A and B are shown apart, each in its own frame.
Chain A
Amino acid sequence: MIASLAYVVTPAIDAPELRWAGLLLLLPATAVLLAGGCAMARVRSKLAGWTTVLLLLASFIITLMLYGQVQHPVTVELFDWIDFTWGDGSKFHGFSANFSLYVDSLTLFWMLFVTGLGTLIALYATEYMEVDVGQGYTRFFAGVSIFLLAMSILVMAGNLLMLYLGWEGVGLASYLLIGYYYTRPSAVAAAKKAFIVNRIGDLGLALALFLIWDNYGTLDFDGLFQALAHQPTTWPDWDVAAIPYLIMLGAFGKSAQIPLYIWLPDAMEGPTPVSALIHAATMVTAGVYLIARTMPLFALHEMALPTVAWVGGSTALLGATIAVAQYDIKRIFAYSTISQLGYMFLGLGVGTSFGACYHVFTHAFFKALLFLTAGAVMHGFAGQLDLRKLSGIRRIPGFGLISWTMLVGCLWLSAFPYTAAFFSKDEILAQCFIGHGPGFEFLGWMGLATALLTAYYTFRVWFRVCAGPVHFEPGTEDHQADAHSDQHEIVHTAHGHSPVAGATSHAFHPHGPRWAMSSVLLILAIGAVGAGIPGYMALSGKPNWVSQMVAHSSAVDAAGVTQSHDHPTLIGFDVHTGLTIVGSCAAIGGILLAWYLHLHRRKSADALRLALMSHPITRWVTIAAENKWYVDEVYHAIFRLPLWAGAHILAFGDHHFLDGVLVDGLAKLPAAAGRVFRPLYGGVMQGYSISMLGGIGLILAWFVWVWTSRG
């Protein structure tokens, strides 16, 4: 069993010579300050954007330098932060959480793509956000810098409290950036939703922190891992066993997993670079990082990792089924993000940290690429994102690059054979069949079904938008107007809709991206291709960069350990070979289906939909899928309504009883007491002198009384 594993993490060594790694926190902080300075000086140029890009680039370079320096887990003390002791100052009589960095290969792995992608996406945004120059431009880059600062703190934290600081920081940055278009009620609502849903997860993480301190007396990663390595193997009490589940809750909130995934689709209200950076590539993978980082804690209960696997697998399938029925491009990509994050958790749960982290890595590239292309489309077509209203943009001048890079992204997302995502997904699914756990094999088949759906909905977008005859309807004026359509509208227009072809297109000239956006798209496409290299090596059984990075960290790759001696098979072949065959079939089958329904005979898709709608059973399925399985509504009924009612009842009691009788009554006491002493402050000097001397007299009397009454 997994729980009986002794997770031995190499003890970290103190490396004061690496103090310059603190620059990784200092540079984004400087970017925040500079952006704030630009805002205060009311700079009406792109200055803030370029300072951010340059500082983030410097941050990336420093990460590279650090990568060259660190072979072994190290801790770097930056400065003392919190250091309390009480009593005798022994283990449980003190709390210290200093500003220190814990740098191992996992940290570096994460930092490389966080700073790298951060730089690229900030560069993209300098052009993308230019319509807002002089208005929100500076604010946007301040938000991006805050995010990068918080994310760096989260990833490089030397203790769980600092990680929590970064955790809340990325939540704040996410809130600020989702609500970037704060004049739009939907953006404000989305920002609030993201913040509140994340709060539920954060509560879990906070409770986990309390329990960890309570049981192990430290929050430092190094100390914690060593304490865990030396603990007895007997099953712990509930307060220890609860720790992995609470951490899980935090990870599920941040990484949008069941049951807390509902905020991510709405988060697409933010500007597209934000969706790409925060809500696809980096921040949402913080949950994966958290679990990978605290992997030794997941040995504390035998069902902890299987739970992660089941939640991940279910989320992957659920996200894919919803994505199939959406029309908004960004929304489809949002659900695909949820689905892919599900794969990562599945990988963590079944014991291949390598697969999960590798999938994080490949996903970061292709999903950022997809969002940025979607953003470029949105940018060019004045906010139009409905895939029914765009077609054949491949042939519109300036959109060729977008279409082809998007094709790369789509191929990767659908795990086309021998692309990077194919390898990473293969790694995860193979472990499902190799590893032993409750229903892992079923999860593997579920993952394969999800792969089929993924290929279908991905190419549904590409065939609809980029291929086919040219026609488009531009969105409403500015590109920030309408990022997603209301789900009720979908139901209403569902009956026999037909987009009005090119009705308004004659007056509108779509504009393609210029060099900043184009070059970023190209770099990302190349990066996505390059991300496949470790996969080739893994497939041919050679040690590769990613697996080494993951294996020499606290995200102990359980795959090697749990591998049993019997050789599991899939459809008669070795698991990896079998998966290559089945996975390729799923991907190509999905693409072919999409080709038939959305390019070859587009009418057939509508016909199929009508056919489904006409049958009473399938009708329900269609509508429910288009409405995201009504999860929001169910949550509304189960949680929000009772809470709303309860809050009103409590508010009534609070207003009339607590506030009216208790608080106001209590509040009158100090004021009344204050009034008693008022005459003493009469304003006449003699009065004061008499009060003073009287006071001295009384105190001396008290003194004499104490003096004489002692022993």
Chain B
Amino acid sequence: MLPLISTNMTAAAACASSCLAQIMPAGQAQIQVALTISALLFTCGLVGFMSRRNMIVMFLCTELMFQGAALAFIAFGRQHMDTSGQVFVIFILTVAAAEAALALGLVVLLYRRRATLSAEAWGELGE
């Protein structure tokens, strides 16, 4: 199962990054690489979020997406020679930390009710 997922992830990420490279202006290679990696991180996060059932892993996947966005900010800041992208990243880290605290609190609360971390255990609401 795991290899399959990771294959999927890689394929999707590669696809996404090539798409991004299409619309990205040609130019500095380092920025290009950083942006590709950021897209890769983001897509990994997305695919992981959809495919994993463990709530902690799912949360880590959202963190992955956040970091992808943060990396993009840094790369673009570098591209534009502008520091505000990096300032944004500091705030992203702060918010991510707050979300982490919240997420762990919630997960612990849920784990106490049912001794499982699977998100599928919580599907009573719905149609």
Contacts and interface: CB of A to CB of B under 8 A. Distances in A.
B3 interface: no
Nearest to B53: A686
A634 interface: no
Interface string A671-692: 0000000100111111001100
B50 interface: yes
Given A689-B50, A693-B46, A678 B127 contact: yes
A686 B119 contact: yes
A691 to B, nearest CB: 10
Nearest to A683: B126
Nearest to A696: B46
Interface in B69-104: none
A689 B126 contact: no
Contacts of B53: 686
B127 A685 contact: no
B50 A684 contact: no
Nearest to B61: A689
Contact of B120 (A684, A690, A693): A684
A690 B127 contact: no
Interface residues on B, range: 10 to 19
B125 to A, nearest CB: 5
Interface in A658-711: 678, 681-686, 689-690, 693
Interface in B27-49: 46, 49
Contact of A684 (B46, B49, B51, B123): B123
A684 B119 contact: yes
A682 B126 contact: yes
B122 A685 contact: yes
Contact of A682 (B51, B58, B127): B127
Contacts of A682: 123, 126-127
Interface string B49-66: 111010000100000000
Interface in B105-124: 119-120, 122-124
Contact of A690 (B50, B58, B122, B125): B50
Interface of B: 46, 49-51, 53, 58, 119-120, 122-127
Interface of A: 678, 681-686, 689-690, 693
11 contacts: A682-B123, A682-B127, A683-B125, A683-B126, A684-B120, A685-B58, A685-B122, A686-B50, A686-B53, A686-B119, A690-B50
**Shortest 9 CB-CB contacts between residues of A and residues of B:** A683-B126, A683-B123, A684-B123, A681-B127, A685-B119, A678-B127, A689-B50, A690-B50, A682-B126
Given A685-B123, A686-B119, 12 more contacts: A682-B123, A683-B123, A683-B124, A684-B120, A684-B123, A685-B119, A686-B50, A686-B53, A686-B120, A690-B50, A693-B46, A693-B50
